[in-house]
Chain A
């Protein structure tokens, strides 16, 4: 049980700034997920917290105590590695009790703790196996068990599920969430997979090029991305982006014209008095609706039509994703019901559901929603 604070931490490799002036506070018992594209510094950051990488400047506090100069073992953290990093020459039992052995915990207590953890993780029958005899999912559980046995203040996970197949990944996501519930520990989790981030996190930290782009709950991040990067990175398929212009604004929001003359009212505060600014309209795939080719006038909540030709239909079972080449230029993805009768190379019209819309200015920053 612990809190963690990063205060203006920096990491440089030679002339390259990997982490730049990053600050963050993690509350006790929180499940925090660092997410970002590869090379964004998320792994470096978790390794800095672990003590495996030096912090060049700034401070790392755990429970309010400065930890920069404290060695990895004495920070009271446990880490689960992407490669599991089990000790191949030791049995599962020895793997899990290694830390206790080093800490000179009496044998009986060691045995008891390992047995407890093995029960939680359903590993009792594998205690005398070597890691090489286990499947990927079992190895993963041993790695997690090795972390739990130490009863750490904070758990660190470095892309722990990326070596598992899709079905197992889904199952382990559930188990990790249950584990968090059960032992109520502070957990910091690194992933490039936004589904993992969305499903498990109390709060998500979106990183790019060593910067924090946004910190928030999964729904905040999804519904109110602060900039174009977060908007396009979080969400699958990504948010559609349409170049447009603000053609009017009032107390209810702004009106954005896209694709020629389609005007979409969006409830965001106009950023300045100028109303002729060029902007980007972001629309989630679920905010685009297919309508029949004979389009009717849009209601108050929707605008359109955009018209275009479908070039790909991905049927995912419960929903379908329709890729449309717009007549006005550009390509969008619309999410429709599975039963929708739509085929490739078909002329379609799309209406835009304005509650799923976001407006970004020229620098990529989101205009503030009026709630």
Chain B
């Protein structure tokens, strides 16, 4: 029997699974030039036509999947790819050249695409330059089919698979079907990579950054993926399998114990209601959010709409997604956060040394009003459902709020002129995730309808720690008194101006943090759907006066570990019912 081997990576999505490796090849296709004897030329042209047919089938099924995933007819961009595939000019040129040059289809097709790609790549127009990626997306599919490469698509992964790859592109990530894919392991990436975000959204375990993964693992191997510890176990020993069976069983029992809390109101023992809502990435997650007992969507991330589409979706495409989500959640609120994209995700030729301090989120949106306007119009049109709220990410200055509000107003006037209906009383809020926004929250509160504290980024910026950097990530701790004091400041500032204050970072789902946040007066906690039942259970064991006492003391420690020690002790003592939950 093969020897057990443990491959280490970064744990980015919790859970444990046992499955069979499915290697998703993203390697380049090798194109060789081969002469074709005259009597086989017709067969060669036929072979080319067959590869096109097969590819068309693939694209259609991908389109179907994306539409299902996002909920509405969002995958129109694939129509352009299908048209590229069926382009007469290309098919005629390729078929003709196979015959005249007596050369194999792969080689000629590659040459012809290369000419088009070069023409588009040389265009002054950004959008056209980006279509080169579409050409090669389609082209690579056809070439793979021509050379008979298998596993060309994440769509046809068999049931019970652990998906293994060098990397997974955003458009492929959107296609991962959690029914078939039990877990994901990739060679590259960190906590914030698309793969990590997708895995957390789909609630399947994932480990990223596993060095030389593809040289160590083969298709069809049996493995255990442990997303809690960040390891992939190759050829596990019977003892190991036994151990993990126990772990999986415990996890299932724990979920069973929590499930009754989904239905219960999110209230403390003495009756204070805290709105518990869900952070979601994809439209389809609304169902899970509702099932878990979410009282709304506290954060709908819109980046995936952009990344899946590899470009700005049209107003109509965005509107359909927002409108559908609003309808499904009615009458509960849906907070749509405008694009939180880095400049490098939008402009392929743009790179920066320090993206976290760079051109991203609202900064990019304000600098590209045409692009921002499409999103605002789509959000406003969907607000006819009367439950949509809008939120700007990464606000750091007063001018940004003023500018965003001015643009927002411009768009509303435009809609009024066009006699398009929208919610005149739509709430407009900001994420408080930069130290400056937290410190200036008293001034900012006068210009917005709510604050949502993004505790992950706030912690990162306040402590000057990149949590993705292994050497310093131990310094990242959202219980640091510096972070907690700022959170208090923001909540107090909001309440003084009579606006509500929520929190949508990982802190919101931390059982240790909930009593503290309730004590500080938080109005809303938004978290991933899976965390909701536990948060409700914790909340229902608390009383406000006790939480207030805890909060008062927690803020006066010198460091995060003292705060944590104190919180652990308090919870064990005052709320024995929720002790030991973590």
Q: Tell me if chain B binds chain A.
A: no
A residues with CB within 8 A of B = none
B residues with CB within 8 A of A = none
